[in-house]
Amino acid sequence: MAAVSVEFTKVAKRFGTRTVLAAVSGALRPGSVLVVAGPNGAGKSTLLNLLAGVLRPSRGEVSHRRGGADLPRSEWCEHLGMASPDMAVYEELSALENLRFFGRLRGHATSDAAITSLLETLGLPSREQRRAVGTYSSGMKQRVKLAQAVLHEPAVLLLDEPSSNLDATGHDAVAGLVARFRPLAAVAVATNDPREIAWGDARLELAL
Q: Which residues contact 191 (CB under 8 A, 6 or more apart)?
A: 35, 36, 37, 44, 160, 161, 162, 163, 197
Measured in whole angstroms, the distance separating CA 150 from the mean position of its chain's CA atoms is 8
pLDDT of 95: 97
**Residue pLDDT, tens place only, 153-183:** 999 999 999 999 999 999 999 999 999 999 9
177 neighbors 122 (Cβ within 8 angstroms): yes
Query: Residue 1 above 70 pLDDT?
Result: no
pLDDT of 132: 96
pLDDT of 56: 96
Kind and range of the H or E run holding 131: none
If one compares 59 and 86, the residue with the highest pLDDT of the two is: 59
Pairing mode, if any, of strands 59-66 and 156-160?
unpaired
pLDDT of 11: 97
**Residue pLDDT, tens place only, 110-125:** 899 999 999 999 999 9
Q: How many Å is the Cα radius of gyration of the chain?
A: 17
Give CA angle at 100 (96, 102), nearest 5°.
115
35 forms bridges with which residues in the sheet? 189, 203
Domains and CATH numbers, the chain: 5-205 (3.40.50.300)
pLDDT bracket for residue 107 (50, 70, 90):
confident
Name the strands in the sheet holding 80-83, side by side, starting at the edge strand that comes first in the sequence. Answer: 80-83, 156-160, 186-190, 33-37, 202-205
Residue 161: CB atoms within 10 A of its CB come to 19
Q: Which residues contact 47 (CB under 8 A, 6 or more apart)?
A: 8, 11, 21, 24, 36, 190, 204, 206
Residue 44: phi, psi to the nearest 5?
A: -60, -50
State how far the alpha carbon of 135 is from the alpha carbons of 52, 169, 204, in Å: 30, 21, 37
Query: Residue 109 above 80 pLDDT?
Result: no
Pairing mode, if any, of strands 59-66 and 69-70?
antiparallel
Give the pTM. 0.95
